[in-house]
Amino acid sequence: MQGKVAIIGSGFSGLSAACYLAAAGYDVDVYEKNETIGGRARQFETKEGFRFDMGPSWYWMPDVIGDFFRDFDHEVSDFYELTSLNPQFEMVFDKESVCVPAGMQELRQLFEDIEESAGSRFDKFMEAARYKYEVGMKDFVNKPCHSWWEFVSPKIAKSALRLNLLTDFRKYVRQYFTDPKLVALMEFPVIFLGAAPKDIPAMYSLMNYGGYGLGTWYPAGGFVQVVEAMAKVAASMGVRFHVGQAVRRVLLEGSHAIGIQLDEETITCDVVVGSADYQHVESLLPADARNYSMDYWERKTFAPSCLIFYLGFKRKIDGLKHHTLFFENELDGHVHAIYTDKKWPESPLFYACCPSKTDKDVAPEGCENVFLLMPIATGLDDNDEIREQYFNEMIERLERHTGQTGLRDDIIYKKSYCVRDFMQDYNAYQGNAYGLANTLRQTAVWKPAVRNKKVDNLFYTGQLTVPGPGVPPAIISGKIIAQEIIKNKDLRYEKIV
């Protein structure tokens, strides 16, 4: 046995780290403050028979998720069934909407139909995006980012110009397309990176390939199936899960973590991995043992929080797709306002997910499972009155788009989730939902470090460190941390006293 590891948090990065460490012979325990594992990807079921994924709903970059399972001699199909969504989603504008087809040729034709010669420019854009995806996902994101020297290689040097690191995404998209609908369509994927397109490096057009090029999928039973599959892999290698167990302190002896303190128990271990929100894990340490001060976190650009409504309808809603984006307002300006205005938006964008269009098991027969998500700034004053104000606006726009009236009267289940819930359930700094934004100054080495600089056996993984926000990056983050621990064979306490 290599040593004993305590992992704080059971989100995707924690599950990933647990699997890779267990496979390398470590004795691994995962401690989760909530009653179910999965972090933001939990699922809950209502007495009416609705099953709601609480967090992720876009299954993109299926190759990354598939690679995780293949690392343990499994295939995704061993655990759950994937359905390719066609259309991938619908985008609603002021006076019309666009359905985004699943096939690349169909997508190309859509672009050509909307803007003359845009089909050929789409080909060029996506070919460049494919190149960035292959370089970025194979050569960039798997690095621990201790130093820029990690990126010094002939291949990366040769790729530098083609990666467009110093061009902002907003300008980059407009080099190819002018029609506002196509611009919005191509800018949308970077919302998952948590910043306005003008603040995101053009390198992240790799997201367009990871989404549109590789397709939008749905795991039967909901996104929680991915969580449960990863947990099965972990458990098969001896990983133990402890739910309802909040970690109150990381225990230190000098510059070494010797264990963790729960409410009623002290756990000793050789290595501690923080998979909960980074700033919260730091708060479990004495101030002089933290990597970063509160001033540091206050200066960072966080990805948005969000207002979510989980809704169960006692009827079907015609005219609603599995994924629908309500983008009647300009995307870049709206997302930019989240970071500059720091107030509730006047004309919000929002997203509707209706998995019951694809999966009959997430809602009772004849009913519809819908959740509405509106991105907002972190740290906002969150109260029930303002939640209801925006609920009414979203329902009105949903009715207008679908041509269905009286939707409020047909709701038999309703639950809201917002800033204060993210803070309470996930110890999320200022209620952030997606971690740190992937701006240029918060990329790679400029992200919070994966290793504590003062405690030699404390590591951090997840959406606030490399490679960044999103399910595939979180899975990769867990692998990075496991590799860092495996490389450092001198972490056992008895070897250094």
How many angstroms from the chain centroid is the CA of residue 412? 29
Q: Is 75 a domain residue?
A: no
268 and 209 in a single domain? The answer is no
- Read off the CATH number of the domain in which 154 is found: 1.10.405
- Residues 149, 45, single domain; the answer is no
Domain residues for 242? 4-57+223-299+438-496
Is residue 350 one of the residues assigned to a domain?
yes
Report the pLDDT value the prediction gives residue 341, as an integer from 0 to 100.
Answer: 85
Does residue 337 share a domain with residue 291?
no
Is 90 exceeded by the pLDDT of residue 338? no
Among 188, 217, 246, the domain-final residue is 217
DSSP annotation of 211 reads I
Query: 42 near 421, Cβ under 8 Å?
Result: no
Domain boundary pick from 217, 236, 270: 217
Cα dist. 58→51, 55, 85, 218, 281 in Å? 16, 10, 10, 7, 27
pLDDT at 494 over 70: no
Checking if the pLDDT of 339 tops 80, the result is no
Domain shared by 210 and 114, yes or no? yes
Residue 493, pLDDT above cutoff 50: no
CA 358 to chain centre: 22
pLDDT band at 95 (very low <50, low <70, confident <90, very high): confident
Number of domains the chain contains = 3
Are 42 and 34 a contacting pair, CB within 8 Å? Answer: yes
Of 67-71, 133-137, 323-327, 411-415, the least confident = 133-137
Tell me if 428 is assigned to some domain: no
Domain stop point among 182, 217, 252: 217
Is residue 380 a contact partner of residue 344, using CB atoms and an 8 Å limit? yes
Query: What's the mean pLDDT when you consider all of the chain?
Result: 94
Residue 359, domain member (yes or no): yes
Are 318 and 411 within one domain? Answer: yes
Distance of CA 285 to the CA centre of its chain: 26
Residue 21: pLDDT over 60: yes
Q: Which helix (H) or strand (E) holds 181?
A: helix 180-187
Give percent of the chain above pLDDT 70: 97
Dist CA 29 CA 192 (whole Å)? 30
Residue 86 lies in a domain: no
Q: How confident is the model at residue 496 (pLDDT cuts 50, 70, 90)?
A: very low
In a domain, 328, yes or no: yes
- Tracing tokens 């819908």 back to the chain, one arrives at 370
d(CA 23, CA 285): 29
495: pLDDT confidence band, cut at 50, 70 and 90? very low
Question: Tell me, what's the pLDDT at 139?
Answer: 81
The tens digit of pLDDT for each residue in 148-202 reads: 888 877 766 667 668 887 899 999 999 999 999 999 999 999 887 888 899 999 9
Asked if the structure places residue 430 within a domain, the reply is: no
pLDDT at 291 over 70: yes
Residue 55, pLDDT above cutoff 70: yes
Where residue 52 sits, what CATH number does that domain have? Answer: 3.50.50.60
159 and 261 inside one domain: no
Identity (one letter) of the amino acid at 48? Answer: E
Give the distance from CA 405 to its chain's centroid: 33
pLDDT computed for residue 497 by the predictor: 29
Given a cut of 70, whether residue 432 has pLDDT beyond it is yes
The pLDDT score that the predictor gives to residue 333 is: 80
User: Residue 277 above 90 pLDDT?
Assistant: yes
Shared domain check, 291 and 321? no
DSSP codes of every residue in 116-157: TTHHHHHHHHHHHHHHHHHHIIIIITT---S-GGGG-SHHHH
pLDDT at 490 over 70: no
**If we measure between CA atoms, which residue out of 340, 346, 341, 330 comes closest to residue 187?**
330
d(CA 327, CA 233): 39
Strand (E) or helix (H) holding 185 = helix 180-187
Q: 214 φ, ψ to 5°?
A: -95, -5
Q: Let me know whether 312 and 287 are in one domain.
A: no
Q: Say if residue 167 is in the same domain as residue 244.
A: no
In this prediction, residue 219 carries a pLDDT of 98
Residue 92 lies in a domain: no
Q: Are residues 294 and 442 in the same domain?
A: yes
Q: Span 400-406, mean pLDDT? A: 96
Q: Assess whether 109 and 213 both reside in one domain.
A: yes
Residue 222 backbone class (left: φ over 0; alpha: ψ -120 to 50; beta: rest):
left
Which pTM value belongs to this model? 0.96
Give the mean pLDDT of 96-115: 97
Q: Are residues 198 and 51 in the same domain?
A: no
* Distance, CA of 176 to CA of 101 (rounded, Å): 20
Task: Say if residue 57's pLDDT is above 80.
Answer: yes
Q: How confident is the model at residue 492 (pLDDT cuts 50, 70, 90)?
A: low
Over the stretch 342-386, which tens digit does the pLDDT of each residue have? Answer: 899 988 999 999 999 999 999 999 999 999 999 999 999 999 999
Give me the pLDDT at residue 195, please: 84
Q: Are 197 and 169 in contact (CB under 8 A)?
A: yes
> Could you report the per-residue pLDDT of 293-318, keeping only the tens digit for each?
999 999 999 999 999 999 999 999 99
- What CA–CA distance (Å, rounded) separates 297 from 312? 37
